[in-house]
Structure 1
């Protein structure tokens, strides 16, 4: 099943991703999820993100297209937690071409992945983004997300030589 809405003069169609879509989805992600976007994010965008999610949960890997052009994608998975009766949905990546953001493509993708997750018995959807990514936070709040919790991520660059601490001999 696919979701159909209108974007400009074209009809937006949301459908499951196919292997033939991988290169285009990868390039859209490359444009959006740059090093500046996620300098120390624990997860980085690469071709394995698409392949891994497609292989584990292809029903939750979607593209939005108008005509023959892919405009965006959503990649998700489900998580069963040990000793929990709940099934969780995790929207791992949601990307829309920069020049058409705020045009309804992201909302259409989210609506469809939410429908599919609900169909699979998901009771709660989880997303994560950088605490300073205000456009993403606003987008997800419009989709009904709340209960924002900030996490602390720390990094240790192992390519730099450690500086000697005062009072310590090398």
Structure 2
């Protein structure tokens, strides 16, 4: 039985996400975007994230593949605000399989998303990540993001039961 060649030997190709790729991209995201990855992530990774972006901005939904294996993906969209002359690009998700992270997969995906957004008239590209996600912060610094804006994010865990003190009326 023949084994697949190592991914290093396969030529990396960036292409648009196709409907047949949705399940594999979803499973890659499940491996990467776990609760442990970012406990305070305000967006959750689910099938609606992929299908919504695929249905609205399919040209900005890309995969990187080598041979027949998807190694990573980028999911983006554009945003136009009322009364603003600017068109914004938003890179919503960028994920790369762990074994492919040293192959420039993320930077190749990002470069293609950026190129496509420029073609669509985007003037500013936005990403967001957790403030403690050092690998992502380092990656986006290398991609040219220098104007870091801080955003305060508060959370309240509603899954813990609040202890209630019973108040008794004296008769």
Q: Are 1:62 and 2:56 matched, yes or no?
A: no
Stretch deviating more after TM superposition (7-16 or 86-95): 7-16
- Residue number in structure 1 paired with 2:115: 115
Deviation at 1:11?
1.1
Q: Which secondary structure does the structure 2 equivalent of 1:82 belong to?
A: coil
Cα deviation, 1:86-134, whole Å, max 9, x if unaligned, reads 0000000000001121320000000000000000000010000000001
User: Take 1:100 and 1:8, find their aligned partners in 2: how far apart are those partners?
Assistant: 9
User: Take 1:102 and 1:66, find their aligned partners in 2: how far apart are those partners?
Assistant: 14
State the TM-score, normalized to the length of structure 2. 0.89
- Whether contact under 8 Å (1:38, 1:44) holds in the other structure is no
- Whether contact under 8 Å (1:16, 1:62) holds in the other structure is yes
Cα deviation, 1:42-85, whole Å, max 9, x if unaligned, reads 10111111000001110100000011110000000000011111
Deviation at 1:162?
2.1
Structure 1 segments (4+ residues) deviating >3 Å: none
Contiguous gaps of at least 5 residues in structure 1: 1-6
RMSD, aligned CA: 1.7
- Residue number in structure 2 paired with 1:50: 50
- Residue number in structure 1 paired with 2:149: 149
Deviation at 1:8?
2.4
Q: Which secondary structure does the structure 2 equivalent of 1:23 belong to?
A: helix
User: Take 1:111 and 1:169, find their aligned partners in 2: how far apart are those partners?
Assistant: 62
Deviation at 1:169?
5.2
Contiguous gaps of at least 5 residues in structure 2: 1-6
User: Take 1:124 and 1:131, find their aligned partners in 2: how far apart are those partners?
Assistant: 21
- Residue number in structure 2 paired with 1:3: none
1:154-169 aligned within 5 A: 154-163=154-163
Higher CA-based Rg:
2
Deviation at 1:38?
1.8
- Residue number in structure 1 paired with 2:135: 135
1:86-97 aligned within 5 A: 86-97=86-97
Going by fraction, where is strand more abundant, 1 or 2? 1
- Residue number in structure 2 paired with 1:76: 76
State the TM-score, normalized to the length of structure 1. 0.90
- Residue number in structure 1 paired with 2:3: none
Q: For residues 169 and 82 of structure 1, do their structure 2 counterparts lie closer, same or farther at Cα, with a shift above 3 Å needed? A: farther
